[in-house]
């Protein structure tokens, strides 16, 4: 049974929209209802409204976003925190102290969670999510149309793209090498560089071994590991992005697999001595996760995530750090000089392989250990 809408009710709806959007607070909303001769009960039954009232009532002092620090703190502040504060009148604080998996587990176990949203990856999301340490992503708040649904996971949702690419020292390597060249130490002697977790390291090994880029998943672990083991004597492994940069810059390695953001900085800092390519790079999602019982409340954590899917902030993050916008609509806003280093621009996406997040989520734990065992034996 649908009643005719009265003008007062329409006013209430405007008020409600203002409330949901955060333009007015709960007290003003209530005052408005009283002035219109309505009670909240009149509007009862609207789930969205009661949720909004609830959220408004428990409006947190701040929402805390944890990442791994460095340049990412000021960049995230400008790209995400400032617009969020302006819109919601809630502070978004960036904590760069490094949310390792163990720290998150310890916090949730101790019921002393201090982070609301965490800048994370698929491996961490899978580990923590399945063990009961995360809130599932609430897609009634996070708008799936603002992102590639392929990277909208149960325990995490994409916030930017990054790519694992091949970089080389152009004084020692002629032309543009391929993954096959990377694993051919006879043709091009010298040290090679891998990331030490195995994540997105098995894909290049398989491509070098002749597997077609669209046939990588499910990954043939044995084959990939054997390929990497075949050049073990010439391999070095990095843990942090800074380390990968240092190993290439100091001429320690002639070729390396590293993140495109670091590769880009290297090319700039070495005046083009280090070169890199998106060709057959592995484009991966950086994802937001929400720890169980976040201090600002799950609704506000997801509200922040949703706000950060707005293109403007993501484009700013690309300009500042090289992170590719997750919102496909952002591509149009990217300035041409940044488009060529944007892993998620359509032409660059076409050159790369899409990371098999689902496969890694199911296998990463076991693989990380196996990879460590392989390199340390």
Partner 1 sequence: MTASTIAGAPRGRRYFFDERTAYWLMVAPAALLMAAFYFYPLVQVLWISVTEPKPGLGNYAQLFTSASIQRTIVTTLRICVITTAVTLLLGYVVAYVLVHASPRAQRWLFLGVLVPLWISVLVRAFAWVTLLAREGLINTTLRDAGLIDQPIALIWNELGIVIGMVHYMIPYAVLPLYANMRDIDARTISAARGLGGSRFYSFRRVFLPQSMPGIIGATVLVFIFSLGFFVTPAILGGGKTLMIAEYISLQILDLLRWGLGTMLASTLILFIFVLLAALARVVDLKRLFGAG
Shortest Å, Cβ 362 to partner 1: 15
Q: How far is the CB of 296 from partner 1 (least distance, A)?
A: 25
Stretch of 32-40, 41-49, 113-121, 250-258 lying at the interface with partner 1 (CB under 8 A): 250-258
Looking at the Cβ atoms of 232 and 340, the one nearer to partner 1 is: 232
Closest separation between CB of residue 302 and partner 1, Å?
24
Annotate each residue in 226-245 with x if it binds partner 1 (CB under 8 A) or - if it does not, as one string. ---------xxxxx------
SS3 annotation, the chain:
CCCCCCHHHHHHHHHHHHHHHCCCCHHHHHHHHHHCCCCHHHHCCCHHHHHHHHHHHCCCCEEEEECCCCCHHHHHHHHHHHHHHHHHCCEEEEECCCCCHHHHHHHHHCCCCCCCEEEECHHHHHHHHHCCCEECCCCCCCCHHHCCHHHECCCCEEEEEEEEEEEEECCCCCCCCCHHHHCCCCCCCCCEEEECCCCCCHHHHHHHCCCCHHHCCCCCHHHHHHHHHCCHHHEEEECCHHHHHHHHHCCCCCEEEEEHHHHHHHHHHCCCCEEEEEEEEEEEEEEEEEECCCCCCHHHHHHHHHHCCCHHHHHHHHHHHCCEECCHHHHHHCCHHHHCCCCCCHHHHHHCEECCHHHHHHHHHHHHHHHHHHHHC
Query: Among residues 250, 332, 336, 350, which is the contact residue for partner 1, using CB under 8 A?
Result: 250
Considering the rule CB under 8 A, would residue 170 count as an interface residue with partner 1? Answer: no
**Candidate list 82, 91, 172, 196; residue touching partner 1; CB under 8 A:** 196
Nearest distance from residue 124's CB to partner 1, in Å?
Answer: 9
The CB-of-216 to partner 1 minimum distance in angstroms stands at 24
Q: C-beta of 376: minimal distance to partner 1 in Å?
A: 4
User: Which of 128, 158, 282, 296 touches partner 1 (CB under 8 A)?
Assistant: 128
- Which residues sit at the interface with partner 1, rule CB under 8 A? 100-103, 105, 127-128, 131, 196-197, 235-239, 246, 250-252, 365, 368-369, 372-373, 375-377
């Amino acid at each position: 049974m649908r009643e005719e809408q009265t003008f007062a009710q329409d006013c209430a709806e405007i008020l409600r929209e203002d409330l949901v959007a955060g333009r007015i607070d709960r007290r003003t909303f209530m005052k408005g209802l009283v002035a219109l001769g309505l009670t909240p009960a009149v509007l009862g039954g609207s789930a969205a409204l009661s949720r909004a009232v609830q959220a408004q009532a428990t409006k947190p002092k701040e929402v805390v976003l944890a990442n791994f620090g460095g340049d990412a703190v000021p960049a995230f502040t400008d790209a995400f925190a400032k617009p969020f504060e302006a819109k919601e009148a809630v502070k978004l604080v960036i904590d760069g102290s490094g949310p390792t998996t163990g720290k998150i587990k310890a916090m949730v176990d101790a019921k002393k969670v201090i982070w609301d949203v965490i800048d994370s990856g698929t491996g961490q999301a899978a580990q923590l999510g399945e063990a009961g340490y995360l809130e599932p992503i609430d897609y009634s708040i996070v708008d799936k149309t603002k992102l590639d649904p392929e990277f909208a996971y149960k325990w995490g949702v994409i916030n930017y793209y990054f790519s694992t690419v091949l970089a080389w020292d152009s004084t020692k390597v002629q032309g543009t090498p391929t993954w096959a060249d990377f694993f051919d130490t006879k043709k091009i002697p010298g040290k090679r560089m891998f990331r030490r977790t195995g994540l997105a390291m098995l894909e290049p090994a398989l491509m070098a071994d002749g597997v077609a880029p669209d046939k990588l998943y499910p990954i043939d672990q044995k084959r990939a590991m054997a390929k990497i083991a075949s050049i073990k004597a010439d391999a070095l492994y990095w843990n942090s992005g800074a380390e990968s940069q240092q190993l290439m810059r100091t001429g320690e390695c002639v070729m390396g697999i590293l993140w495109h953001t670091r590769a880009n900085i290297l090319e700039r800092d070495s005046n083009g001595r280090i070169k890199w390519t998106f060709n057959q790079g592995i484009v991966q999602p950086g994802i937001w996760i929400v720890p169980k019982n976040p201090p600002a409340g799950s609704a506000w954590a997801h509200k922040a995530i949703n706000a950060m899917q707005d293109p403007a902030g993501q484009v700013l993050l690309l300009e500042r750090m090289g992170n590719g916008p997750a919102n496909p609509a952002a591509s149009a806003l990217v300035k041409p000089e940044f488009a060529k280093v944007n892993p998620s621009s359509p032409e660059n996406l076409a050159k790369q392989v899409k990371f098999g997040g689902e496969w890694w989520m199911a296998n990463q734990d076991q693989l990380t250990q196996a990879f460590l065992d392989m390199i340390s034996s």
